[in-house]
Structure 1
Amino acid sequence: MAEEDKKDKELRSSEWFNRTGKDGFIYRAWMKKQGIPKHKFKGKPVIGICNTWSELTPCNSHFRDLAQSVREGIIEAGGFPVEFPVMSLGETLMKPTAMLYRNLASMDTEESIRANPLDGVVLLCGCDKTTPSLVMGACSVDIPTIVVSGGPMLTGKFRGKDVSISDTWRFSDKVKTGEMSTERMEEAEACTCRSDGHCAVMGTASTMACMVESLGLSLPGNAAIPAPDARRKVIAHMSGMRAVEMVEEEQNLSDILTREAFENAIKVNTAIGGSTNFVIHLLAIAGRIGVDLDIDDFDKLSQDIPLIVNLQPSGDYFMEDFYYAGGLPAVIKELLPELHTNEITAAGESMQEIYKDAPNYNEEIISSRDKPFKSEVGLAIVKGNLSENGAVMKPSAATPELLQHKGRAVVFEDIEDYKARINDPDLDVKKDDILVLKNVGPKGYPGMPEVGNMGLPAKLLEQGVTDMVRISDGRMSGTAFGTAVLHTSPESADGGTLALVKNGDIIELDVPNRKIELHVSDEELEKRKKEWEPLPFHMDRGYWYLYQKHVQQAHLGADLDFMQGKSGSTVKRDSH
């Protein structure tokens, strides 16, 4: 057998384009319809460019250009590029929350990859949920895959100061107290997001970009190159080339995403002060690829890793500064003694080979393990009778004095109740109280929105209060900050203890000892449990109904229960 024919037969796409008879005729004829000669796609690795470009996803607004760079790289390496769209999740515009649709987008990605003649795929993702949804979907198919992130936007400039989306909460509080006019806040809108790219801080989008690089799913340096920087297009081009090589080397996602790779990602996320959303997305990805990972692993693996990156919202600088300082490669080099360094990556080399000589150009932004920026760990998992399956918080973005705190619960039954009463001057609330928000979890909202960092009562803001302990079964934006206990599991809508909390109950938070306790007797809780009634579904049809019926709890990754594990790349039925 000729070498070309042997290679052709081994390609997954040959199941389509090598067919004889009417099947092969139809597959090839419709490709030729686009003006493509047979030699362009038959016998060459067919590489899908999975694009989440959408005018409704502003973070990904530059992906048409980025896809073209990927395309050129694929062609240069001898592959055949085919670009295809999947559902795009615009974090800032989608209601009720983009998180509700993460699992739907992952299903779209999975089925688009498996159903089509693709030998490998390049995932173009930037905005918060586009990254985990695409990776989850690709994991379920498990073919050669590489990720290209969109990159962060340039640092905002407002009245002589650097600003970012993290300042939204500060601006909002200042408007409430009269320190800032609404006209001035409107002026800041045009200054905060001034270029292509996702949020300019270590929010969820940047955390996800760092996650894929630390997992080994991207080329080195991918995480932090600013979106407008020409080097973003270069790495897209090189990723397209590498995708072809991965097909030739038969390097699938499961070859990269080992248990050790997930441990590396957790340690790196701790060192960069990544978003709390990292937990729920990494758990979902592990569930798809079949790696045994649980919520306690995040706490165990974070214990000895300090925060060494000085970025907002936990610090002072921005993603643009981070890139100029050396980016994620400099962080990984500093952590190499703590990592599994022989793990293979999408680059075709081990972590040790890639990062051992990575330079650090600014130790004020990227410090060392011996002299860290903050000694507090990036993430902590707290458990107790209020969160039997665990809740997540970010000590590095919290007020240190509140990490051990006991206070009276001020309860909001749902988001509407919170919005109606939070700024009421007659609200019975004091600075040492604990704000509790129910029914914003996966089932309760539905979709688990980013409302866990509740805005403080206006009456306390006027008194100069800047932080309080806040507890919910929701999430918070990676760009946010404050002493917020999040992802409380089981959630209120699933009958968790959070549903039973009443105004005036005493709650104790003890982050150093990883505890959160509701000081109410077991007998009283049992009585309240018998009186509790679950809320009805928000909708009795379509995806919302499917989601509420099958979504797992936060400590399992909030994936749909029937989507766990891999389905593989084989298409078992032909259509012709």
Structure 2
Amino acid sequence: MVDSLRSHGWFRDEGVLGFTHRSWLRNQGHPDHAFDGRPVIGICQTASDLTPCNAHLRGLAEHVRRGVYEAGGLPMEFPVTSLGEVLMRPTTMLFRNLVSMDVEETLRANPLDGVVLLTGCDKTTPALLMGAASVDLPTLVVNGGPMLNGRFRGRQLGSGTDVWRFADARRTGAMSAADMSAAEACMSRSAGHCNTMGTASTMACWVESMGLSLPGMGALPAVDSRRAALAHVSGSRIVELVREDVRLSAIATRQALENAVVVNAAIGGSSNFAVHLLALAGRLGVPFGLDDVDRLGRDVPLLVDLMPAGRHLMEDFCYAGGLPAVLRELGDRLPHPHAPTVTGGTLAENTADAEVFDREVIRSVADPLRSDAGLAVLRGNLAPDGAVIKPAAASPRLLRHAGRAVVFHGVEDLHARIDTVDCDADSVFVLTGVGPRGFPGMPEVGNFGLPKRLLDAGVDDAVRISDGRMSGTAFGTVVLHVAPESAVGGPLALVRDGDLVELDVPARSLHLAVPEEELARRRAEWTPPPRAAERGWVRLYVDHVGQADTGVDLDFLVGGSGAPVPPGNH
């Protein structure tokens, strides 16, 4: 049990500092006993009208607040910058590290003993976790949950995933503008984040697999009343975690990270998982690299039949048993079933009674959708520091492929020429200049659409390679996160139209079949792209951001500084 709380450094002072802290808070109606030494719990809020996935978190915070009060704590809700994939430009990834700083400094600067992180849309989860990890208070995550299934003319719609299909159909004339508009109105029909196994749902399952949220939190629909009940219980539980002095680092261990890699493979999770996991590991000070992601994910069966790798949606996943059922189904395939969790029990104890209620959605280890579903880490002269591909979302016929390169230098070049380039079904499409520094911000453009001539010919997939990312809702044979990126002189910058590119996912190889002396000549002629006029955050970001193989964090944020009580200002 903890002997003294951080908040005592603010509220137990009998001089002018304590007077000031207590007096100003009384204007919110707090009674005398609010300052009797009880745990003060932060509720980190990412609700925003500009983040549709998170707009309903205002209501969820009230349920957390009730739980905190019930357990004898004092809740303090506070906002941080919200990251909404739908509206924010140029990309929310540009601001993930900024939000982590917002969280870190807010936690450290205020009289908080523990924190509940309210997350939802893609980057809010890793951003909040990274910030909290750098402070290392008792921490618990409550996510907002996925939307209900979309419904359109008798079929289910998956947010994001079906957008890409509709876009291709619209370009070829197979879908009318009126049908596109009708589908638009049917896709997002309730509060919550994407209802596919996109990045938001992947992040929710990631947190649950690491034991940082209560069991069942990852899959319950946003509008399900049981989510509100879990939020209430989470509020009570964080008070107990403070009293027990169970800090984030006691749960988010290397064992938890290893479990997360296996679970991500089993659920067909987003390729973005890798870059966020590595960033969190860096904040925790836990040695963890791309080779760990590849090694742990190898031969893990795909058990969950969800878009974009499968057919169903998050609402179906919930009713089929959710993540607890997957954890139990994995059995001894889970490296550390006895890893601790925020409940006080282990993962195995938390899921001992879990059941699978629909074998169409959650398959058995003996009858998986695929036998090897983990993210594959590729290396070779085109990606010496690594690249990733999600085999579960790729075309099996393209996992071993050689083709001539068609190169685009940046998004504007891509958009200008995609439908006029000389290409065929075997072409390998290469996009440069979309990495962490090159864009800047590493946007989700790696799954760019194919040339219209290929779509018209019935080609529905081709190998695409870039130093950017792709949406977790997307699909295709897409090689991503190539490191080092082209903007810093990585080999991707040296690829020319017509070069032979060889992809061999089973062998974990990505090779540019160009003689080394020719590559040396190109390298000697290469010049860095001009930097845009940068100021403020973007300038700081570009000067300090790392590469994809280390999580795209800022160099001065790696590691943590703990939670010392800062000196007063009087």
Q: Which ranges of structure 2 fall in alignment gaps of 5 or more residues?
A: none
The residue identity in structure 1 corresponding to 2:95 is Y
Distance 2:256 2:372 in 1: 23
Instruction: Specify the alignment match of 1:394 in structure 2.
Output: 390
Instruction: Specify the alignment match of 2:191 in structure 1.
Output: 196
Greater Cα shift, 503-512 or 352-361: 352-361
The residue identity in structure 2 corresponding to 1:206 is S
Pick the aligned partner of 1:248 from 243, 266, 290.
243
Change (3 A) 1:382 1:18: same
Pick the aligned partner of 2:306 from 286, 300, 311.
311
The residue identity in structure 2 corresponding to 1:143 is L
Instruction: Specify the alignment match of 2:83 in structure 1.
Output: 89
Aligned runs of 1:173-322 on 2, under 5 Å? Answer: 173-322=168-317
Distance 2:533 2:35 in 1: 45
Question: Contact 2:298 / 2:372 at 8 angstroms: preserved in 1?
Answer: no
Pick the aligned partner of 1:454 from 440, 448, 454.
448
Distance 2:168 2:299 in 1: 35
Question: Contact 1:410 / 1:436 at 8 angstroms: preserved in 2?
Answer: yes
TM-score of the aligned structures, taking structure 2 as reference length: 0.98
Distance 1:572 1:54 in 2: 30
Distance 1:539 1:193 in 2: 38
The residue identity in structure 2 corresponding to 1:52 is T
Instruction: Specify the alignment match of 2:46 in structure 1.
Output: 52
Instruction: Specify the alignment match of 2:357 in structure 1.
Output: 361
Question: Contact 2:299 / 2:372 at 8 angstroms: preserved in 1?
Answer: no
For the pair 1:422 / 2:418, whether they are aligned, the reply is: yes
Distance 1:137 1:438 in 2: 30
Distance 1:186 1:574 in 2: 57
For the pair 1:504 / 2:498, whether they are aligned, the reply is: yes
Instruction: Specify the alignment match of 1:3 in structure 2.
Output: none
Instruction: Specify the alignment match of 2:330 in structure 1.
Output: 335
For the pair 1:136 / 2:130, whether they are aligned, the reply is: yes
The residue identity in structure 1 corresponding to 2:438 is G
Greater Cα shift, 67-76 or 369-378: 369-378
Distance 1:199 1:539 in 2: 35
| CA positional deviation for 1:251 | 0.2
Distance 1:34 1:57 in 2: 27
| CA positional deviation for 1:572 | 3.5
Question: Contact 1:256 / 1:345 at 8 angstroms: preserved in 2?
Answer: yes
Change (3 A) 1:41 1:20: closer
Question: Contact 2:389 / 2:480 at 8 angstroms: preserved in 1?
Answer: yes
| CA positional deviation for 1:457 | 0.4
Distance 2:301 2:10 in 1: 51
Question: Contact 2:294 / 2:374 at 8 angstroms: preserved in 1?
Answer: no
For the pair 1:155 / 2:149, whether they are aligned, the reply is: yes
Alignment root-mean-square deviation, CA: 1.0
Question: Contact 1:438 / 1:499 at 8 angstroms: preserved in 2?
Answer: yes
Question: Contact 1:204 / 1:274 at 8 angstroms: preserved in 2?
Answer: yes
| CA positional deviation for 1:571 | 3.3
Greater Cα shift, 39-48 or 226-235: 39-48
Instruction: Specify the alignment match of 1:384 in structure 2.
Output: 380
Question: Contact 1:452 / 1:484 at 8 angstroms: preserved in 2?
Answer: yes
Instruction: Specify the alignment match of 1:403 in structure 2.
Output: 399
Secondary structure, counterpart of 2:533 in structure 1: coil
For the pair 1:348 / 2:344, whether they are aligned, the reply is: yes
Question: Contact 1:61 / 1:196 at 8 angstroms: preserved in 2?
Answer: yes
The residue identity in structure 2 corresponding to 1:488 is V
Pick the aligned partner of 1:490 from 465, 484, 495.
484
For the pair 1:20 / 2:14, whether they are aligned, the reply is: yes
Distance 2:5 2:533 in 1: 44
| CA positional deviation for 1:376 | 3.2
Q: Where do 4+ consecutive residues of structure 1 move more than 4 Å? A: none
Secondary structure, counterpart of 1:44 in structure 2: coil
Question: Contact 1:70 / 1:238 at 8 angstroms: preserved in 2?
Answer: yes
Determine what percentage of the aligned residue pairs are the same residue. Answer: 59
The residue identity in structure 1 corresponding to 2:343 is A
Instruction: Kindly provide the CA deviation profile for residues 89-108 of structure 1, in whole angstroms up to 9, marking residues without a partner as x.
Output: 01111110000000000000
Question: Contact 2:463 / 2:478 at 8 angstroms: preserved in 1?
Answer: yes
| CA positional deviation for 1:136 | 0.3
Secondary structure, counterpart of 2:481 in structure 1: strand
| CA positional deviation for 1:215 | 0.7
Distance 1:41 1:200 in 2: 42
Distance 1:33 1:22 in 2: 17
Instruction: Specify the alignment match of 1:30 in structure 2.
Output: 24
Distance 2:246 2:456 in 1: 58
Distance 1:145 1:205 in 2: 19
The residue identity in structure 1 corresponding to 2:361 is I
Question: Contact 2:197 / 2:313 at 8 angstroms: preserved in 1?
Answer: yes
| CA positional deviation for 1:375 | 1.9
Distance 1:241 1:539 in 2: 49
Q: Which ranges of structure 1 fall in alignment gaps of 5 or more residues?
A: 1-5
Distance 1:55 1:163 in 2: 23
